[in-house]
Structure 1
Amino acid sequence: MTQKSENTLTVGREAFAYFQHGLETGDWKKFLDMLTEDFTFWFPMGKFQGLNVGKQRAQEFFQYVTQAFSPGLKLNSLDRVTSNETTVVFEFRDEGMLFGEPYKNRVAVSFDVRGNKICSYREYFGSDGKSN
């Protein structure tokens, strides 16, 4: 593994720990602090479907996630971590309540790393959100 790949994985793991904390508690500050000012993210559905640009838009998105999954999502398992020189992908299973209804899902999130920051995020789901 090259030094750049090792840095990418280290930064990605740190960001994922903050991401997980945000999902569980609604406190996204440390994750948001790791985002570049020109941060972009892609989400597959709903109000934020498609490409979104900017740290402010990301803050709005993660506030929406907190409201949708109140009182928080629990990560059941981290199934796989894959990385290269610029990107780290985390595949995991989570569960909680989505707008008051039971929720379980398989998810993959991809972080693009630039230096010690996250410059891009993409999310993909594996189920309808009701069962695994």
Structure 2
Amino acid sequence: MSEPINAFDTRSGSRRKMFGVVAAGGLAGLGLLGRPAHAAVAGGSGGVRQVADRAMDRFDRGWRTGDWEPFLAMLTPRFSFWFPEGQWRGRHEGEAGRRAIAEWARFHGTSGNRVSGERRSVAVMGDRVLYEYDSRGASSSTAGYLNWETIIVQVRGERISALHEYWGNVPPTGN
């Protein structure tokens, strides 16, 4: 039986158990846990968590400002991108994955879509970092957006080689 994941709760500033046995087993079933952490130590700036946080800070800034270039600069040329719906739905790998996330980011930047997300927790799993967000629309084009999201990034050196975003099967809406 799997153990719960230890996570840092940004609301209370303390470590807590997260997801429990069922979700940890579900993530393992998806192949997200249990893989060897052959790149678990990133060079230069202090490790996987710091590189992932730097990438996600740029990701958040992209949503707030529409300027995705700093985030895109942190991606490896061969990239794994998973998105749950719309034009970019599914899994995109390698150079096609890099192109897909760049198109996705530029679409949101030029269309005026703005989202404000609050990180609720963060868990490091070898070379992957899982972020839990509560997000809301922050522009007229996203006014009805209200979502809980889980984003997993994979770190390779000083860059990220994957971004997989998960949420429900129905597009989120606000009240």
Match of 1:29 among 69, 87, 101: 69
SS at match of 1:4: coil
Give the match for residue 50 of structure 1: 90
Question: Offset of 1:131 from its aligned partner?
Answer: 3.3
Any residues of structure 2 matched to 1:1-132 within 5 Å, and which?
Answer: 4=41, 7-53=47-93, 54=95, 55-67=98-110, 70-75=112-117, 77-96=118-137, 97=139, 99=141, 101-126=143-168, 128-131=171-174
Task: With the length of structure 1 as denominator, give the TM-score of the two structures.
Answer: 0.85
* Conserved? CA contact 2:92–2:100, under 8 Å: yes
Of 16-25 and 96-105, the range deviating more from structure 2: 96-105
Contact 1:25 1:71 in 2 (8 A): no
Give the drift of 1:57.
2.2
Question: Greater relative contact order (Cα 8 A, min sep 6): structure 1 or 2?
Answer: 1
Residue 98 to residue 80, structure 1, CA distance change in 2 (3 Å): farther
Aligned length: 128
Unaligned ranges ≥5, structure 2: 1-39
1:128 Cα deviation after fit: 3.9
> Which amino acid counterpart does residue 4 of structure 1 have in structure 2?
V
In 2, Cα distance between equivalents of 1:123 and 1:64: 17
TM-score by length of 2: 0.65
- Greater per-residue strand proportion: 1
Amino acid of the structure 1 residue aligned with 2:128: T
Gaps of 5+ in 1: none
Shift of 1:100: 5.3
In 2: Cα distance, 1:73 partner to 1:51 partner: 23
Match of 1:11, SS? helix
Q: Counterpart amino acid of 1:28?
A: W
Asked if structure 2 preserves the Cα contact closer than 8 Å seen for 1:8 and 1:84, the reply is no
